[in-house]
Every structure is written in C-alpha cells, then in structure tokens.
C-alpha cells in the first residue's frame, strides 16, 4: 500500500520541480499499480488503452479518467467491507452524482493533508470559526454531499463553531454578533461556499445596511462560481464587496472536487491557485497534449490521496491556465495557475449549488 510518510512530514509547498518530479512520479506510479491490481473496471480501462502500469512507463502517459465516469460507475479498489464512508458530489436537482468510496486510510490521509494545506495559510492554531451555512445541511441526507463533507472537514480547523444561517437559511444576525463580541480581537476562521456566501450572507447584509467588524477574519471559500459569473461577480469583485461590508481583507479561494477530496488547491496572497506536494495539475490542448505555460486548456488533476478508489488521475471539465512554477511571489514552490470556467455543455456542479430556495 502506498505510503506518504516521506512527504507527510514536509511543509506542503516545499518541493521544487526537480525534487517533486521524482518523489511525486514514483508515488503516483505505485498508486496506479495498486488500482490496476485491485479495481477490475480500472484494470479493463487501462487494458483497452494498452497501458500496462506493471511495466515501467512514463508517468505522463498514464491516462486520466474523465471525472464524469464516477457518475455512471461505482469504482472501488478495496473490499467493500473496508468502506467506512460514501461521499457524493453536489449537483442541481435531477443530475446524476458521483459516488466516492472511502476506507479508513484514505479518509485519514484526506483529513491530514487538508489540515496541512490550510494550516500553512492560517497557522497551526485552531481558530474560532464562523460557517456561512446552516447546521441543517448536516442533518439532511439529501444535502450531505460535498457541501456537508466540506463543512465537516474544515470544521476540524476551528473551535466554537457557529453557523451564520438558521434552519431556514436566513441570516442569523444575532448569533453572528454574539460570536464577534465573544471573540473580539482574535483571528477568526470564516468558511463557506462561494455562492452561499454571496447569496445568503453578503446580499442580506447589504439589504439590511448592516456592517460587521470582522477585520480579523480569514475567509476560505470555494465552489459555485458559475452562478456568480452569471451575475458579473468575479474574484476581485467578491473580495472587494466582502471587505466593504465586513472589513475582511484575508480571503482565500480554493479549487477542488469531491473526487479528490483533501488535496485542494489554495489561492495564495498573489491571487493564484497552488498545487501542493500531494497534487499536480496539467493543462491539455485539443489534441490532449500538454499545453505550454500560460496557454488555456482542459485541466488534468493528479492526487496521491485516493487509495480506495481510482480517482488519482482525473480529467476535469474545467478550463485552466498554468501561470508558472516555483517562482510565485508568495514564495511557495510548485505550479500555480488560474481556472477560467467550465467547458461548454458540461453539467453544472459545485458544492454550493445544492441549495435553491423554493
């Protein structure tokens, strides 16, 4: 079984291109052999593509699985008796969802890596936490998908977890003000999904003419950009609006998907998303060859975390652009990039797209 010990104890953005190429490539190759030997469906796919990972081949030639494949197939690389949790992707009503099967080791690695990545941005000390969502999302089995799992995962980084929305998805101003008063002067972790923050936190505050003193807040958010782009709200507009109404200056977007939970890509202080030691990104052109730096194409994502299902190399439905590697002004090693939206006719997805008012 793949062992991540050699990189688990390192700072998550510490491997430069040369060092990462060897370490990441070897681990990804071992992970591919594990899935080839233990998931019959994955074995069949690689055989059809005439790719045999049991013979040494270039890691770049390992084929990605289209992320949509998980909507139609239940792929698993361990015995079903070892599965402790099944996660589903978010989607609008009527859409098919991905099913991701986690064993104990995969779930543990996901939690550890998520904590390492986020802690490198906010510090290792747990912070009082405000979640821009309703606690009911954890009770409703129809909503407990990527959105619920995201809340549970990030909640491990905080204490005195307080929800900003009530059971009816209405802004609970009283609860928020009590929380702010209780933790005045302290750094505060604020987490939510992008569209939820805009629709159910920012807009109601704006309508009420209410401003919150959250200048010590560190906001982490992701998902649901499609709806905001339709409202002409980009990343800069989002940050500026939150700063005006809440005085929040430290805002970090993140990019990720339920099929590779844990190995998220965080936005740095310079405004770029970063690949950690545990993940990698490539951008593919129309011929599925790798694009050059600063060329847009289809995003391929690799992660060392999926052990219980073959989600380690995925072809997304997102358009991205790698800006550079090892030379971001934030000082972190690794590739840094931007996401420019989704390919045409792709199904809408996003953790925050799962709630629509009736």
- The DSSP 8-state label assigned to residue 200 in this structure reads I
What's the angle, vertex CA 322, arms to CA 319 and CA 326, rounded to 5? 155
CB-based burial of residue 168 (10 Å sphere; 0-12 exposed, 13-18 middle, 19+ buried)? exposed
**88 sits in which H/E element:** strand 83-88
In this predicted structure, which of 85-99, 253-267, 302-316, 340-354 has the lowest mean pLDDT?
A: 340-354
Q: Which residues contact 137 (CB under 8 A, 6 or more apart)?
A: 143, 144, 147, 148, 151, 355
Q: Residue 33: phi, psi to the nearest 5?
A: -65, -40
- Cβ atoms < 10 Å from Cβ of 347: 13
Q: Model pTM?
A: 0.91
Structure confidence at residue 270 (pLDDT):
95
Strands 273-274, 335-342: pairing kind: antiparallel
Q: Which residue do the tokens 């809408």 mark? A: 348
Residues 6+ apart with CB under 8 A from 14: 277, 333
Query: What is the number of other CB atoms lying within 10 angstroms of the CB of residue 228?
Result: 19
Q: In the structure encoding, which two tokens stand for residue 158, read together? A: 């905080």
144-176 pLDDT, tens per residue?
A: 467 788 888 899 999 999 999 999 999 999 999
Whether the Cβ atoms of residue 161 and residue 129 lie closer than 8 Å to each other: yes
Q: What is the DSSP letter of 92?
A: S
pLDDT for 166: 94
The arithmetic mean of pLDDT across residues 310-314, rounded, is 97
Give me the DSSP letters along 152-191. Answer: HHHHTTEEEEEEEE-TTS-B-HHHHHHHHHHTTTS-EEEE
Band of residue 138 on the pLDDT scale cut at 50, 70, 90: confident
- Within the chain, residue ranges assigned H as helices are 5-8, 17-38, 40-48, 69-72, 104-122, 146-155, 173-182, 194-197, 203-208, 225-230, 235-246
Tokens of 247: 């005085």
pLDDT for 91: 56
Name the β-bridge partners of 87.
100
Look over the chain and give the mean of its residue pLDDT values, rounded to a whole number: 90
How many C-alpha atoms does 236 have within 13 Å on its Cβ side? 1
- Out of 101-115, 120-134, 210-224, 343-357, pick the least confident: 343-357
Inform me whether the pLDDT recorded for 193 exceeds 70.
yes
Domains annotated for the chain, with CATH where assigned, are 17-82+264-342 (no CATH), 111-255 (3.40.50)
CA 266, distance to chain mean position in Å, is 8
Confidence of residue 347 (pLDDT cuts 50, 70, 90): low
> Residue 322 in 3-state DSSP?
strand
Q: Does the structure show a pLDDT above 60 at 142? A: no
Beta bridge partners of 313: 302
Q: Give residue 1's pLDDT.
A: 52
- Taking residues 188-193, report their average pLDDT: 96
> What letter would DSSP give residue 90?
-
| Crossing angle of helices 104-122 and 146-155, rounded to 10° | 60
Nearest to 7 by CA among 126, 154, 157, 116: 116
pLDDT of 56 > 80? The answer is no
């Amino acid at each position: 079984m793949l062992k991540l010990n050699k990189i688990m104890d390192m700072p998550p953005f510490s491997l430069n291109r040369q060092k990462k190429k060897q370490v990441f490539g070897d681990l990804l190759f071992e992970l591919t052999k594990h899935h080839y030997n233990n998931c019959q469906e994955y074995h069949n796919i690689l055989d059809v593509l005439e790719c045999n990972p049991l013979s040494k081949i270039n890691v770049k030639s390992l084929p990605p699985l289209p992320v949509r494949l998980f909507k139609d197939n239940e792929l698993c690389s361990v015995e079903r008796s070892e599965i402790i949790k099944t996660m589903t992707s978010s989607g609008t009503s009527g859409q098919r969802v991905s099913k991701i099967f986690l064993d104990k080791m995969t779930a543990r690695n996901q939690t550890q890596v998520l904590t390492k990545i986020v802690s490198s941005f906010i510090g290792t000390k747990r912070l009082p936490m405000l979640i821009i969502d309703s606690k009911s999302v954890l009770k409703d089995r129809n909503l407990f998908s990527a959105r619920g799992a995201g809340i549970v995962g990030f909640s491990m980084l905080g204490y005195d977890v307080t929800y900003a929305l009530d059971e009816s998805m209405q802004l609970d101003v009283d609860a928020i003000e009590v929380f702010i008063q209780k933790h005045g002067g302290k750094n505060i972790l604020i987490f939510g999904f992008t569209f939820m923050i805009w629709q159910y936190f920012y807009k109601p505050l704006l309508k009420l003419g209410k401003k919150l003193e959250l200048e010590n807040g560190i906001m982490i958010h992701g998902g649901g950009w499609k709806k905001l782009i339709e409202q002409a709200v980009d990343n800069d507009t989002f940050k500026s609006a939150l700063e005006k109404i809440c005085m929040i200056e430290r805002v970090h977007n993140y990019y990720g998907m339920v099929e590779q939970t844990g190995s998220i890509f965080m936005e740095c202080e310079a405004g770029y998303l970063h690949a950690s030691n545990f993940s990698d990104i490539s951008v593919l052109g129309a011929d599925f060859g790798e694009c050059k730096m600063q060329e847009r194409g289809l995003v391929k994502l690799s992660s060392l975390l999926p052990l219980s299902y073959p989600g380690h190399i995925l072809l997304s439905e997102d358009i991205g652009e790698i800006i550079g590697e090892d030379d971001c002004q934030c000082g972190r090693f690794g590739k840094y990039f931007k996401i420019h939206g989704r390919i045409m006719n792709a199904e809408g997805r996003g953790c925050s797209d799962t709630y629509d008012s009736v």
